[in-house]
Amino acid sequence: MRRRGCGIAFVLFLAAVAAAVSPDNQAQAQGGYPNKPVRIIVGYAAGGGTDVVARVIGEKLAERLGQPVVVENKPGGGARIAVDYVATQPADGYTILIGGGSELSISPLIYKTNYSPLTSFVPLTIAIEMPLILVAPPDHPAKTATELAAWAKANPGKSNYATTAPGFTLPAELFKLQTGAPGVAIYYKSAAEGAIALMNGAASWATFTPPGIVNLVKDGKLRALAVTTAARSPDLPDTPSMKELGLDINIANWNGFFLPAGTPRPIAERLTSEMREIVLNTEVKDKLRGMFTVPVGKTPAATTRHIEAEMKVWKGVIEKAQLKFSN
């Protein structure tokens, strides 16, 4: 009897040990997460839109975690350097990537990358979205996206669009595929240069994000023809969406937060909860809205579905338009 009792006690002891070393309990036992500064890695230079989003959210995250949150800029390779870096960091919750559709949904389709957006990371949330705006010079004959398509078909030799990177090229090519409009890509170093080209007539149209464009539209220096999201932009409420115009286009630029694959679930869940609350907090929400973004705070599952759907769209565009990109 005594031996049997000892045997049961030993089995219970082994079960307790197994539970104590399980990944979830290991994370809780680290116990004190976080007990040192947390880093947010940005793939672009300081001062850009992604960097500012990281700093606004990082400041509040530091208050909630009780530890400093340091924003580190690792620009280069269209943000792929930063994504590669985070994918190789310890999966302990102390290194967070802020990434977007360009480097996570598009780059793996057109470049040889060392990371997979769906297996190299644990998604936390897509924090913000913003539409792209189809714009033309203010004196352009077209006043809507459908009129632009008709104009391009009637003037194929004059139709060209300004772009700076695949993230702007693919939406323009999607518009061409949807409407049958011709248009040659002209590459510029920045959206600001592209906007100047539109204003001086060197380019006839473009799809760019709101920062740097909305105020030019409001000042009458550019004409907004449509936005690429299903809903209208709160920054340009009089500009129709492409869905309203009968086009099957519903895309947005976005920024989201990710951890290296293998990060313990309790840590990921803690960061997801904190970040979603931060993004939807009134004070932070107002700051983000002031940057022409729409705070969304998607769940990890919704973030994964968004990337999967986006990659499917862009893969189709790349194949149908027979696009080639060089590193």
Please give the Cα distance from 36 to 68 (Å, whole number): 8
Single residue among 177, 212, 227 that ends a domain in this structure: 227
20 domain residue, yes or no = no
Q: How would you label 154-166 residue by residue, b for 16+ Cβ within 10 Å and e otherwise? A: eeeeebbbbbbbb
Please give the Cα distance from 287 to 282 (Å, whole number): 9
Q: Are residues 108 and 176 in the same domain?
A: no
- How confident is the model at residue 127, as a pLDDT? 98
- How confident is the model at residue 5, as a pLDDT? 46
Retrieve residue 307's tokens.
Answer: 């990337």
**For each successive 10 residues of the chain (327 residues), what is the average pLDDT?**
44 41 43 93 94 97 98 96 98 98 97 96 98 96 96 97 95 97 95 94 96 94 96 94 94 97 98 96 91 96 98 97 88
- How confident is the model at residue 22, as a pLDDT? 44
**Sheet with 133-136, side-by-side order of all strands:** 184-187, 160-163, 205-208, 133-136, 223-227
162 domain residue, yes or no = yes
Q: Are residues 175 and 92 in the same domain?
A: no
Q: Are residues 75 and 150 in the same domain?
A: no
> In the 8-state DSSP scheme, what is residue 195?
H
- How confident is the model at residue 31, as a pLDDT? 64
Parent domain of 191: 133-227
Retrieve residue 24's tokens.
Answer: 């979830």
Please give the Cα distance from 46 to 38 (Å, whole number): 18
In this prediction the pTM is 0.88
